[in-house]
Amino acid sequence: MHSLRKRISILALLLTLTVAGGAVSPSYASQGPGIKKALQSSVQSVKDFFGRFKKTRIIEPVKVCDPLPEISYCQYADLTYESLHKNFNTEIVPISDEILFTGFSDTPDEYSIWDNSKINPYNVSLVDMKDTVMIDVSSYCTPSPKHVTSDFGFRKWKHHYGIDLKVHKGDTVRCAFDGVVRITRYERRGYGYYTVVRHSNGLETLYAHLSKFIAKQGDTLKAGDPVGMGGSTGRSTGYHLHFEVRYLGNPINPNDIIDFTNHTAKNRVFVLTANNFEYKKEIDKIRYWTVRKGDTLGRISQRTGISISKLCALNGITRKTILRIGRRIRYT
């Protein structure tokens, strides 16, 4: 190792002198053949040393993919809504001063449940939901072109979870969005003949008090396809369509989505948040007494501390109303 270092030193000296002056200085040259032989030996030793690496295989880095092309901001500055929707299959939703690009994702995991009897089999509360859900409602078709006869919200003694639209007996009731019929049933003391359709955008809609079914359970429908015929079956006081919009079984005020004056969707995209379920917090404050055998208005009044007259006002009944076992009597 000491000898190799000496030879490398001599070689480095020779290279230095050559670079500096183009030749070896006379003082070194005068030392004769000894220097020349030493230099030749040093050069060969260095060649041998570095020659050890000739058979070493150098592994080239693997090229995984081409670099992303540079995108000029100005290149896309003038894109229109139509071109964005066409090229990227996305919607532009204005929120405050921002523009949110959102593609429409698959329906919720809970929709793996396919129940043909329960309107809400999901048991999911959305009062405190954290997510914001973007729902494409651009294909909306009005179920009935007539006017609203009763709105969403508290109606006398109970909450009304939908919108009532005027229909005549036999009028065609149409599907609001593309979807598949999940339920067709009859409920004597409630919805009468009613249909529930699950839609590809994640919503479900309910059509109640029909006189006749047209679409059958399991049928695939397009927006505007016939669901049934208008009627007044079930608990109804006249011909009308009771229309509900739900997400994971939770009713949404249809007015949040639809302009019932013009019978169009208010926006191409409906932005669903916890605010759409604020009404449920008020409903949760309401207390009910479930009628049992032997109960009377007087007894319920004593047990709840609410006067009989107020119980009647809260429930739309009179002192002579027969209380059936299982009926829920509101007392707050």
Domain extent listing, the chain: 2-51, 59-285, 288-330
And the tokens for 177? 């969005």
Q: pLDDT at residue 18 above 90?
A: no
244 neighbors 251 (Cβ within 8 angstroms)? yes
* Mean pLDDT computed over 254-273: 96
Per-residue pLDDT at 94 = 44
Rounded Cα gap, residues 100 and 120, in angstroms: 31
Q: pLDDT at residue 66 above 60?
A: no
Q: What is the CATH architecture of 288-330?
A: Roll (3.10)
- Which has more confidence, 254 or 303? 254
Least confident of 1-5, 178-182, 209-213: 1-5
Per-residue pLDDT at 10 = 53
The pLDDT confidence band at residue 5, using thresholds 50, 70 and 90, is low
Least confident of 32-41, 105-114, 164-173, 208-217: 32-41
Per-residue pLDDT at 314 = 81
Q: pLDDT at residue 244 above 90?
A: yes
Per-residue pLDDT at 104 = 38
Residues contacting 72, CB < 8 A, separation 6+: none
Per-residue pLDDT at 88 = 47
> Which one, of 307, 312, 314, lies nearest residue 332 by Cα?
314
Selected from 3.40.50.150, 2.70.70.10, 3.90.330.10, 1.10.3720.10, the CATH number assigned to the domain covering 59-285 reads 2.70.70.10
Rounded Cα gap, residues 289 and 300, in angstroms: 8
Q: What is the pLDDT of residues 308-318, one digit of tens each?
A: 998 888 888 89
Per-residue pLDDT at 37 = 63
Q: Mean pLDDT for the chain?
A: 78
Per-residue pLDDT at 39 = 53
Per-residue pLDDT at 46 = 52
Across 12-21, 107-116, 295-304, which has the greatest mean pLDDT? 295-304
Least confident of 76-80, 146-150, 174-178, 296-300: 76-80
The pLDDT confidence band at residue 135, using thresholds 50, 70 and 90, is very high
Domains 59-285 and 288-330 share a fold: no
Beta-bridged to residue 101, according to DSSP, are 92
Rounded Cα gap, residues 252 and 213, in angstroms: 24
Per-residue pLDDT at 1 = 53
Q: pLDDT at residue 48 above 70?
A: no
Largest Cα span, the chain: 138
And the tokens for 202? 């994640």
Q: pLDDT at residue 17 above 50?
A: no
What one-letter code names the amino acid at 44? Q
Rounded Cα gap, residues 193 and 176, in angstroms: 18
* Mean pLDDT computed over 267-294: 88
* Mean pLDDT computed over 22-30: 45
Q: pLDDT at residue 109 above 60?
A: yes
Rounded Cα gap, residues 93 and 104, in angstroms: 12
Rounded Cα gap, residues 132 and 159, in angstroms: 25
